[in-house]
Structure 1
Amino acid sequence: MEEKKKDLLRRLTIISIPFVFVAIPSIVIIVGMLSPHAAEPRDAAAAAQSPAQNHSVSMLSTMTGGQMILSCRAAFAGNWEYFHYFILDPYKPQRAYFQPPTVGGESYAILCKWGYMGNFLQDVVVFNSSAAYARRCRVEEGGCHYLFQDGHMFLVTGKQPTKAAPEQRREKALVGDLVLRECTHVLAVFPTMCRYKRHDHQYVGNIIGRWRWWFNY
């Protein structure tokens, strides 16, 4: 009887291996393909500035572990709408233009979900019309540039000085830290034990899991 139980357990283990290493990753990939965040086009023409759009935000990642994704929405007057979907390859900046509403005195904010190498954050603010830096996001002021570097997020504003305008300057300010994990792996592929890396500043958003990344805005 004991041998039968052991034999049954061995068979169940053998059957479960393909499910764990093939079926579950396949389900995750399919869900990702069906996600509305994954379907947004990365068309440079779509991000071109129109005459009415006098603000801009740009993103640049120097972190070489893989692509970085920011799925962003604009929140105003108790509502929200899709803003832009940034897919950042290392050292390849992307820029998006916009025009905050100017009527009603309502605040206007752009919030993003951030993803990188299996790490996810929500409510990463890249523009807030009530913030002191908001005017520096105007195109004529140089726009707001976000730099993701060495596990940190920086806001770069202003323009480089020129002969015609030597008083111009660029300023780089730390926004906060990015959540990053260190994991041990089985067969150098499948993560087992993971822990968050030490960080010295507040995270730029709220930590969320993979499923909330796909299904909750």
Structure 2
Amino acid sequence: MFTGIVTATGTIREARQDGDLRAVIACPFDPAGIAIGASIACSGVCLTVVEKGGAPGDAWFAVNISGESVARTVPGRWREGTALNLEPALKLGDELGGHIVTGHVDGVGQVVSVTPAGDSKVFVIAAPKELAPYLAPKGSITVDGISLTVNEVSDQPDGTCHFTLNIIPHTAEVTTIGAMQAGDGVNLEIDVLARYLQRMQSLRG
């Protein structure tokens, strides 16, 4: 379980197909604080640490990424040199600063536009039609592992939807979203509460 509050960014140092895809991710964590078998959200994907090493501030950990995870996430996301948003799993007693995030990607979206708005940036992101019913103004959405609030939702004729986000300078600086441009893909996880509400509504209907 996660909160969508990114604690660091890391970089894929090595990626190779070894049965499942195996990735080694460089990060600024202390390896003593990374447990083998622990879960770390990597740009919104819950992955299990299978190996670790390095020094405090210059650590690395290895994960195995199944074919299912590769297929459900942004194409090309697991290449060497790719930057990732990182968040260790929530511990009992930790502050829930974002919203409840499972680390299970529901779909892939695409950045439609990025527009400056004061010191912030307004992002418009296209979501696939299967996720459109779960998005609402002032609702929560996880974009590449970042807990964000939806500002507006615009339904499209083909059943997809566009939603807007306001990205403040701090979020842009400490996550990968600050470097994103129109056309970039993003991992999306809908609010778990919206998922259950939609299921309940469909059964009633």
Same topology, TM > 0.5? no
Normalised by the length of structure 1, the TM-score is 0.26
Normalised by the length of structure 2, the TM-score is 0.27
More helix by share: 1
More strand by share: 2
Q: Which has the larger radius of gyration?
A: 1
